[in-house]
Amino acid sequence: MPEQDVRAVLFSDIRDFTSLTADRGDHEAYRLVQVFVNLVEEAVKNQQGNVVKTYGDGVMNTFPDVRSGLRASIEMQRSLQEHNETAPEDTISAGIGLNWGEILRDNEDIFGHSVNVAARLANSAKGGQILVSSSVREKSKSYEGFGFVDTDYRDLKGVGDEEVSELLWRDEVSRLPAKDNQLTLVLTDDHLSIELSKSLQEEINKAREELSREAKNHSGLTKYILEKVESYVDRYLPKVLDWGLAKKGIGLEHPIREAQLELKGDRMVFSLKGDEVLTLTKDEIDLSAAKDFAAKFKKMKSS
């Protein structure tokens, strides 16, 4: 019979693993997964946690208390940041979800609603983001040294509505979320990052695959047009989404000295080393908030 227990459950998984595999090949993707798993396991070990299992591009862990789970989550993101700065050719971006509650333990595996919530939180997290449940937030009220951003209620697949908060793991100066919550710009004293949602990456990957299939099913002018559209998607959208260009800073922290952020009329343009990476319009962001964010960016860069 399964044993009942109460634990903090943490899921972490790599963002855009499908594109990584397609771009780098299975062997290279496997190597980077091992780098990721090693970083995660080290953080778990340092916080007296337990690695339950790895699953493709992710890891499931448990901790005896919420504080240990919070500390491990922060250590994981900071370790990934350090890795990306020292090995820009092997950038890794991950989302993390943390929950607290009852679990069922059967041999070396765990099951139950609390486990499902943690998994869905990780799936909902953007790259570089740590999402926690209301039970974690409640337990954290007696702790010092942790900062949170209140988000909202989210309809987590297979779980239902869950009150979600974000755990801060870096000293933020400002943040600018998109209206649809598909990406967030985060500014620190010396870095600027763009956190992308997993769902946005998946949608673009599906669109690319569909275009490719349609092109193969047609000939003549229709085939030519579809191939041109697919080429456009591959050429431009990867500036935001593809793993191959993640090293330019997408979903990762990037030094402010290498970044530029400008407001051009009703658009905000983000560039790295002179290469325009992302443009957000008034339909996608709040322009008033964008002006404040851009002003803080300019101040941090000048200092």
Tokens for 229?
């559209």
Other C-beta atoms closer than 10 Å to the C-beta of 180 total 11
State the pLDDT at residue 150. Answer: 80
Instruction: pLDDT band for 293, please (50, 70, 90 cuts).
Output: very high
Q: Which architecture does CATH list for 3-169? A: 2-Layer Sandwich (3.30)
* 114-118, 209-213, 281-285, 291-295: segment of lowest average pLDDT: 209-213
**What is the distance in angstroms between the CA of the first residue and the CA of the last residue of the chain?**
61
Of residues 61 and 149, more confidence is placed in: 61
**Residue, of 221 and 62, whose pLDDT is higher:** 62
3-state secondary structure of 98: strand
Instruction: Give CA–CA dist 293/259, Å, rounded.
Output: 14
Q: Tens of pLDDT along 76-102?
A: 999 998 998 888 788 888 999 999 999
Residue matched to tokens 């396991």: 41
Domain ranges of the chain: 3-169, 171-303
For position 250, what pLDDT does the model report?
44
Indicate the CATH number for domain 171-303: 2.30.29
The pLDDT of residue 181 is 80
Question: By C-alpha distance, which of 36, 35, 94, 46 is closest to 69?
Answer: 46
**3-state SS class at 77:** helix
Most confident by average pLDDT, 18-32, 135-149, 195-209, 211-225: 135-149
Range with the lowest mean pLDDT among 203-207, 249-253, 261-265, 280-284? 249-253
pLDDT one-digit tens code per residue, 207-264:
666 666 666 676 666 666 655 555 555 544 443 433 333 433 345 677 888 889 999 9
Alpha-carbon distance 294 to 260, whole Å? 10
Q: What is the pTM of this model?
A: 0.76
